[in-house]
Amino acid sequence: MSPFKIMVTSALCAVSFGAMAGDKIEGIQACMKIQWNAQFLKEHPRAPAGCQEVVTRDGVKYAKFSGTVKSVSGTEATVAMKNVAGTEGTTIKVDTGGGAMVTINGKDTKASDLKAGDSLNFYVKEGEFGASPTLAPAKPAVVTPKAMPSN
């Protein structure tokens, strides 16, 4: 799968998620039942292999993806995404500029303060093309992953 880039904007305020009462969390078997967006699969055909679990909130399913920050350079963090076995695979870039805020280990932090070793979660809403670092009751701001140029 080609790497993709997720831009974190100030509207996307968290990259970790604590299960709330009423949320239904299913294992990786549920990932095989998610209805993936056709454009998402066209551009990232192996992305579903990185689905860690499915979280259902208010009747809406989200595929959860996890990764670890490997390095930070300028306004970009390189994140190694995990596959279903929990090993690192595809690398993505996360834009840390623009004053965006994220949540790391339950603490609100500037995205520009990301450092190697930080763990991040991203969620893809069933049927949509984009990733959000949070599950919000209201419609979250969704970021469309872009294929990164090959070097």
Q: pLDDT tens, 81-134? A: 898 888 888 888 888 887 777 767 667 778 888 899 998 888 888 998 776 665
* Helices and strands in the chain: count of H runs, count of E runs: 1, 10
Which has the higher per-residue pLDDT, 132 or 151? Answer: 132
The pTM score is: 0.71
DSSP bridge pairs for 71:
78
Q: Are 84 and 34 in contact (CB under 8 A)?
A: no
